[in-house]
């Protein structure tokens, strides 16, 4: 956290406040938080944002950051073949590979203006290290599954508890328990993880109803669809963030909404793996559920890019419903910012540019050809349909500038890319 004051001056501030105001003004940041949105006088450091938009840092609500090293390793194959290939490669991986993959992923996200990510993996102590080095904000879920299914040493639940205890006071690190899915988690494991989340007061994350097979298999073994079953065993709660949710009935949506469950929608991953035709996001939103956007891991999405995710989200729902008014730009931008924060139960701290919030921001160059012309009237549309990572000029996390003029200030990008290229060779050959 920065103790000095920082002013971001003269940009179009996309506040994402309740009125969704866009203001041509300044932002003052003190002690890592936004203290003022309005004309600012002096500050220790000044970022000139003239000709730029200033947006809340994007929130990636579901990924597996360390899988960057597996980019492009299992493309154009169905989920069965994909999982077989990725599990095989997974077994070759060392803790150093997890650290390196997380370093590379943090760089890719910071360069795209993404300041927060929700991760699900084992070896989160290594990911936490990459978070600290790079200056990004990580919501790090240690994977929990039944002891009989895991390759982790010791019990996943105990490992997860130790991880949370050891990392809860580290700045920008938010540790929690992440359940792999109902296909490898018994009722006992699920309820113990829920109990852990309540005892430690953390988020709880799960993969839910990603594929039709998951739903059919669960129905065959329990007589119930996964979300219905989770409701009946008392697992659903307002601490839960469920990723995918591509195959839900209206009854499941009602029950999840009733319990305050949030969702991380991953349209690119669902489309690329042909695992979910179209998650019923409009219905979830109509039921009041907070829905964020996630890229999922690099072995299925290939990029940790929230710009592509936003555009795909809008296009998918329009195309599926044959309705161009579906998922308008403002709603999709909300999913990557304010609604993403709500999905993480972090709406008091993240997701908008308002006094009191943590200063996680990105500065977008409106002079980039992809962003011309931009006016107040089409700014949100341009962000969702036209913006890309190379339009992001600066990234700020908790008031600290981590990327300035497209150069990362915290880590050596070319060295990490070179190491990642070398270390990944064993997965491919
Ligand atoms: Zn996932």
Q: Contact at 8 Å (CB) between 110 and 416? A: no
Per-residue model confidence (pLDDT) at position 385:
98
Token couple for 348: 């008091």
CA 405–ligand 1 middle distance (angstroms): 32
pLDDT value at 394 more than 80:
yes
Residue 82: per-residue pLDDT: 82
Q: How far apart are CA 205 and CA 118, in angstroms?
A: 9
Q: Are strands 392-397 and 400-404 parallel, antiparallel or unpaired?
A: antiparallel
Q: Is the pLDDT of residue 303 over 60?
A: yes
Between the CA of 266 and the centroid of ligand 1 the distance, in Å, is 9
The predicted-structure confidence for 144-166, as pLDDT tens digits, reads as follows 999 999 888 899 999 999 999 99
Contact 210, 275 (CB under 8 A): yes
* DSSP string for 271-301: HHTT--S---HHHHHHTT--EEE----TTTT
Whose tokens are 């939103």? That residue is: 285
Residue 3: which pLDDT band, with cuts at 50, 70 and 90?
A: low
Return mean pLDDT, the chain.
Answer: 95
Place of tokens 């944002």: 49
- Over residues 262-273, the mean pLDDT reads 95
388-414 b/e with 16+ CB inside 10 Å = b? ebebbbbbbbbbbbbbeeeebebbebe
Rg of the chain over all Cα atoms, to the nearest angstrom: 21
Tokens of 426: 């064993």
pLDDT at site 87: 81
How far apart are the C-alpha atoms of 371 and 52, rounded to whole Å? 10
Please give the Cα distance from 22 to 376 (Å, whole number).
7
CB 142 within 8 A of CB 159: yes
Q: How far is the CA of 304 from the centre of ligand 1 (A)?
A: 12
How many other CB atoms are there within 10 angstroms of residue 5's CB atom? 18
> Which tokens sit at 123?
């070896």
Who has greater pLDDT, 72 or 261? 261
Ligand 1: centre distance to CA 44 (Å): 41
194 CB contacts (<8 Å, ≥6 apart)? 204, 235, 237, 239
CA of 39 to the centre of ligand 1 (A): 43
Q: How far is the CA of 287 from the centre of ligand 1 (A)?
A: 24
The residue written with tokens 């990029």 in the block is 303
- For the chain, the structural domain boundaries read 5-56+351-408, 58-343
| Ligand 1 centre distance from Cα of residue 202 (Å) | 19
Share of the chain above pLDDT 90, in %: 89
What is the per-residue pLDDT for 91?
81
pLDDT at residue 274, as a whole number:
87
d(CA 396, CA 44): 15
Kindly give the distance from the C-alpha atom of residue 294 to the centroid of ligand 1, in angstroms, as a whole number.
9
Question: Is the pLDDT reported for residue 138 higher than 60?
Answer: yes
Closest CA to 357 of 26, 22, 52, 27: 27
Q: Which whole number is the average pLDDT over 190-198?
A: 98
Q: According to the model, what pLDDT value does residue 1 have?
A: 46
- CA–CA separation, 122 vs 66, rounded Å? 10
| HSE (side-chain half, CA atoms, 13 Å) at 375 | 1
What is the architecture of the domain spanning 5-56+351-408?
Roll (2.30)
**Dihedral sign computed on CA atoms, order 253, 259, 265, 266:** negative
Greater pLDDT, 79 or 236: 236
CATH of domain 58-343: 3.20.20.140
User: What is the distance between the alpha carbons of residues 282 and 291, in angstroms, rounded to a whole number?
Assistant: 10
Cis peptide before 373 (omega within 30 of 0): yes
- The two three-digit tokens of residue 138, written as one number: 């990580």
What is the CA(87)–ligand 1 centre distance, in A?
13
Strand 407-408 to strand 400-404: parallel, antiparallel, or no bridges (unpaired)?
antiparallel
Pairing of strands 204-208, 240-244: parallel
Q: Do residues 137 and 172 touch, judged by C-beta distance below 8 A?
A: yes
pTM over 0.85: yes
259 alpha carbon to ligand 1 midpoint, in Å? Answer: 22
Find the mean pLDDT for residues 226-246.
98
Whether the CB-CB separation of 156 and 145 falls below 8 Å is answered with: yes
In this structure, are residues 55 and 41 in contact, taking their beta carbons and an 8 Å threshold? no
Pairing of the two strands 392-397 and 173-179: unpaired
pLDDT score for 276: 72
Could you tell me the pLDDT band of residue 235, with boundaries at 50, 70 and 90? very high
pLDDT-derived band at 43 (thresholds 50, 70, 90) equals: very high
Q: What is the pLDDT of residues 219-231, one digit of tens each?
A: 999 999 999 999 9
Contact of 257 with 284, CB cutoff 8 Å: yes
Ligand 1 center from residue 120 Cα (angstroms)? 7
Task: Give me the pLDDT at residue 278, please.
Answer: 85
**Gap between the Cα atoms of 12 and 427, Å rounded:** 45
């Amino acid at each position: 956290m920065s103790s000095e004051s920082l002013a971001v001056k003269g940009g179009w501030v996309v506040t994402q406040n309740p009125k969704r105001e866009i203001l041509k003004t300044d932002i003052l940041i003190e002690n890592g938080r936004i203290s003022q949105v309005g004309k600012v006088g002096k500050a220790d450091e000044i970022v000139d944002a003239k000709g730029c938009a200033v947006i809340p840092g994007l929130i990636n609500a579901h990924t597996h950051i360390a899988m960057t090293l597996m980019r492009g390793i299992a493309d154009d194959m169905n989920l069965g073949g994909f999982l077989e290939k990725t599990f095989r490669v997974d077994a070759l991986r060392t803790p150093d590979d997890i650290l390196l993959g997380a370093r590379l992923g943090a760089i890719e996200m910071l360069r795209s203006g993404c300041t927060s990510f929700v991760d699900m993996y084992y070896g989160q102590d290594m990911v936490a290290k990459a978070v600290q080095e790079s200056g990004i904000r990580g919501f790090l879920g240690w994977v929990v599954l039944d002891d009989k299914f895991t390759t982790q040493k010791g019990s996943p639940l105990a490992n997860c508890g130790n991880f949370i205890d050891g990392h809860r006071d580290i700045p920008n690190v938010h540790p929690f328990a992440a359940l792999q899915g109902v296909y490898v988690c018994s009722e006992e494991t699920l309820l113990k993880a829920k109990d852990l989340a309540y005892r430690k007061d953390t988020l709880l994350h799960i993969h839910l109803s990603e594929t039709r097979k998951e739903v059919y298999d669960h129905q065959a073994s329990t007589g119930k669809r996964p979300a219905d079953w989770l409701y009946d065993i008392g697992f659903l709660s307002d601490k839960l963030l469920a990723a995918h949710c591509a195959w839900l009935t209206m009854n499941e949506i009602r029950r999840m909404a009733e319990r305050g469950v949030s969702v991380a929608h991953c349209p690119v991953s669902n489309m690329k793996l042909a695992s979910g035709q179209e998650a019923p996001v409009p219905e979830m939103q109509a039921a009041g559920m907070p829905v964020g956007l996630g890229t999922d891991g690099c072995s299925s999405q290939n990029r940790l890019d929230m710009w592509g995710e936003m555009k795909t989200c809008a296009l998918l729902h329009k195309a599926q419903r044959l309705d161009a008014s579906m998922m308008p730009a403002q709603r999709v931008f909300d999913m990557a910012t304010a609604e993403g924060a709500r999905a993480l139960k972090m709406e008091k701290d993240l997701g908008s540019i308002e006094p009191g919030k943590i200063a996680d921001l990105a500065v977008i160059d409106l002079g980039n050809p992809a962003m011309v012309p931009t006016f107040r009237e089409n700014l949100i549309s341009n962000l969702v349909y036209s913006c890309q990572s190379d339009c992001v000029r600066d990234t700020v996390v908790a008031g600290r500038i981590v990327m300035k003029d497209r150069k990362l200030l915290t880590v050596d990008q070319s060295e990490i890319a070179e190491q990642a290229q070398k270390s990944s060779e064993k997965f491919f050959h």
